[in-house]
Structure 1
Amino acid sequence: MNNFKALKTKFNAQGYRCTPQRQLIFEIFQTLPTGNHLSAESLHLLLLERGSAMSLSTVYRILKIMTKMGILREVELAQAQKHYELNTISTHHHIVCVQCHQIVEFENKSVLQQGLKQVETIGLQLINCKFTLHTICPKALDMGWPTISSNWVCPGFTTIVEE
């Protein structure tokens, strides 16, 4: 979905209006760097920085609608908050450090293929595939995890994950 006309068509087809607030949220997700995820609160702060007076409750409602419609994908990472990203055709997965919350995305077609095989065996239809590995990064281990402070910030996390 590369333009607002397609977005408006999708909203209308599912019985929703494509309001300026929904368009703005879609624009923010479209311009996020790859691998970035937003919580409702962080999205709300971005909107405030852009001069929008949208309330946090409106942000939550829009995120719920856009997730239900399949425009956004809800991702539960290490943090207690839910995060959101554009629901793209490529299915990617996440590796998350539960201490510093660093996220590495990776693609692995065998995860999706195994999921498809399982759901087809029992006669279901796959609508989404999310796989998250919860980990501890080497820096947190070196600092003595799990006894380090919960607000400790990892100085760096550089891992490349390939299929």
Structure 2
Amino acid sequence: MSPYTTSALKAELNERGWRLTPQRETILHVFQNLPKGKHLSAEDLYNLLQSEGESISLSTIYRTLKLMARLGILRELELAEGHKHYELNQPYPYHHHHLICVRCNKTIEFKSDSVLKIGNKTTRKEGYHLLDCQLTIHAICPACQRALLPM
């Protein structure tokens, strides 16, 4: 289960003068229950909620995803499909990075303690509070490389 509970989200929102709406709570629950390694775009989330009988508008989903990313609850990912995806921002040791094939969009998650250490060191040095530290590598996977070779 995610470290981001409904009560933690409510406290975080209240601290900033916002409230926990049923829509925000529903969206948090979706991300808490996603299988490991699953990322959702706003459109994916909208379609999932529609299929479950939830009626949350796409604009509300976009606003909520942006808000939860700003709060550090969700990670906003720039994957190869040309639009943002989101996942829970899990603390160490679940923190991970992404290797993405720019041709087939295959995404591999990997861990790197050194990336997180550099992020922590840099933010502490500058007096910042680290919310997220991610490395996204765009490359071409072996299968796509083989497909590019002349016969």
Say yes or no: TM over 0.5.
Answer: yes
* Structure 2 residue identity aligned to 1:34: K
Give 5+ residue unaligned stretches, structure 1.
Answer: 148-163
Residue 85 of structure 1 aligns to a residue in which SS? strand
- What are the within-5 Å matches in structure 2 for residues 62-101 of structure 1? 62-90=64-92, 91-101=95-105
Distance 2:12 2:60 in 1: 20
Structure with the higher helix share, 1 or 2: 2
- What's the Cα RMSD here? 2.0
Q: Which of 107, 110, 123 is 2:111 aligned to? A: 107
Aligned residue pairs, count: 145
Percent of aligned positions that are identical:
46
Provide TM-score, normalisation by structure 1.
Answer: 0.80
Give 5+ residue unaligned stretches, structure 2.
Answer: none
Distance 1:120 1:66 in 2: 23
Provide TM-score, normalisation by structure 2.
Answer: 0.86
Residue 148 of structure 2 aligns to a residue in which SS? coil
Deviation at 1:47, TM superposition (A): 0.8
* Structure 2 residue identity aligned to 1:97: C
* Structure 2 residue identity aligned to 1:61: R
Residue 35 of structure 1 aligns to a residue in which SS? coil
For residues 103-136 of structure 1, what are the alpha-carbon distances to aligned partners after superposition, in whole Å with 9 as ceiling and x for unaligned? Answer: 1111111112233344555x34252211011111
Deviation at 1:45, TM superposition (A): 0.5
For residues 67-111 of structure 1, what are the alpha-carbon distances to aligned partners after superposition, in whole Å with 9 as ceiling and x for unaligned? Answer: 111111111111210111111112311111111111111111111
Distance 2:54 2:76 in 1: 23
Aligned residue for 1:157? none
Residue 38 of structure 1 aligns to a residue in which SS? coil
